[in-house]
Amino acid sequence: MVNPRKRVLNVKKNKQKNARPKPITPKGFRDYFHDYSKSRSNLINDICKVYELYGFENLETSAIENLDALGKYLPDIDRPNQGVFSWKDEENNWLALRYDLTAPLARFYAQYFNNLPLPYRRYSWGPVWRNEKPGIGRYRQFYQCDADTIGTNSSVSDAEMCIMFCKIFEKIGVKKNKYLINLNNRKILNGILETVGITDSNNYDATLGTSEKVLRSIDKIDRLGFDGVKDLLGKGRRDESGDFTNGANLTNDQIDTIMQFIRLESGDNIETLNQLKNLVSNSLIGKQGINELEEILEYCELAGLFEDRIRINSGIVRGLGYYTGTVFEAELTDKIIGNEGKITEIGSVAGGGRYDDLVKRFTGKMVPATGFSIGIDRLLFALNQMNSGENNKETGPIIVTIMDKKRINDYQKIVTDLRNAGIKSELYLGNPKDLGRQLKYADKRNSRFAVIIGSEEFNKDVVQIKDLELGSKISSQIKTNKEWKNQPAQVEIPRHNLVKYVLNLSK
């Protein structure tokens, strides 16, 4: 006799073996619906047109790189594998998903520089992946769209990035008083660190030195505020979850000087530059950074960009460890309803700077470079918030309804004629139980028009065209074809005029 208890245990084991997977996305990732991905494609297309206007050409690098080619530059260094998704291949080599589009560019340039023009100007776009702690609006996969110039020390190339920022914003419909380009230089902060006795080298592939810890602490100012940064410059900080982040362990005098630097506030670039000159004292590297900022401002002014759009901001340092000089961030200043219903500024949607040592990792020779990256997902979210009162949803296809299953070939011919004329259209392939169900489907597809043709229309060689902009409001009240015909938004036309009629309405 079989033990009943064993039978129950066997049943439980079988259930566990046959357990269905849960249909959920991995933590920190998401799915992109059609409207979103289409809007993203349109946005990227607009941005790339500006890049090409400025003489940049497209480059697409692999999504997977050798791990050592990427380097260790991410700000979230406490994550597994230094913040990247990595694994070993069948030959025991470490590979990783790219965390940005700049590190792969450095590898590409070092690999092909003999075949490339100097300077080399490229733009690129695509998804990147970071093994960072996810949160609200913070994902592990997101899209970037970059432009970079490799092979010139000229400050004109840095100014050109700022000018291009402005051109892009204006092309996508952001008004001049709704954005700002924040400008700074890593050399200035290095000069200030030098004056307070912090002179360790920035060997980013080794254990972080004090100066790099300071840079990464300052970069968190938007998220943590001045008090949070001050804690990170000292002993460290414990966040709301209880996790503790070790600080840079600076002295109080060192912290005070650095906080004075990042608290500089002035709407006057000249005044800010004068304050920075006092802070860097006699530091040669600090003075060099200030001179570079002055040159960039001069070139931007020649392009018609002044303090209302280009502003020196000493709190901008950028979190990635490979920046060596000028850094900049583009922010949208419009107010939106953020998390928990709070009114907040949109903030930074793009950033970049000069990274003169990145190619050197491969070649042993310094190759000057500068560029910037636009966070496409963040920018798209911001634009949607700024235009929240507008209907940005894409118009769906014309839906050709089916009233007589026996005439399916005739309905297919109608759809073919529309498509051959370049008109987005679709034959309803669900259960044509009633017209109301088909029109509700058209509403869900955000279709503007529906073609209605039954036996009577076929006999008369006509079609009914229904304008559905108001259809969603009245569809629940109408059940028969006759009632639809009595609506003023519905017209009857000769079947052979269908394509011409729709094209005229779509103009």
Could you report the per-residue pLDDT of 77-126, keeping only the tens digit for each?
555 466 899 999 999 999 999 999 999 999 999 999 999 999 999 999 99
Q: Given this chain, do its domains 34-386 and 398-505 carry the same CATH topology?
A: no
Global pTM reads: 0.80
Are 467 and 473 spatial neighbours (Cβ–Cβ below 8 Å)?
A: no
Domain boundaries, the chain: 34-386, 398-505
| Rounded average pLDDT over 280-304 | 93
Could you report the per-residue pLDDT of 127-154, keeping only the tens digit for each?
999 988 887 777 899 999 999 999 999 9
What pLDDT score does 253 carry? 84
| Rounded average pLDDT over 197-211 | 58
Are 401 and 438 spatial neighbours (Cβ–Cβ below 8 Å)?
A: yes
Average per-residue pLDDT for the chain: 85
What pLDDT score does 421 carry? 93
Are 158 and 292 spatial neighbours (Cβ–Cβ below 8 Å)?
A: yes
Contacts of 229 (CB under 8 A, 6+ apart): 217, 218, 220, 221, 259, 262
What interhelical angle do 210-218 and 186-195 show, nearest 10? Answer: 130
Q: Residue 419 pLDDT more than 90?
A: yes
Are 314 and 261 spatial neighbours (Cβ–Cβ below 8 Å)?
A: yes
Give which of 191, 184, 374, 190 is closest to 297, Cα–Cα.
184
Q: Residue 255 pLDDT more than 70?
A: yes
- Topology of the domain covering 398-505: Rossmann fold (3.40.50)
Each as own residue / partner, the long-range contacts of residues 205-214 (CB below 8 Å, 24 or more positions apart, any chain) are 205/71, 205/72, 205/361, 208/77, 210/248, 210/249, 210/250, 212/321, 213/247, 213/248, 214/189, 214/248, 214/250, 214/258
Pick the CATH number of 34-386 from 3.30.930.10, 3.40.50.1220, 2.40.33.10, 3.40.50.720: 3.30.930.10
Pairing of strands 64-66, 94-97: antiparallel
Could you report the per-residue pLDDT of 295-317, keeping only the tens digit for each?
999 999 999 999 899 999 887 88
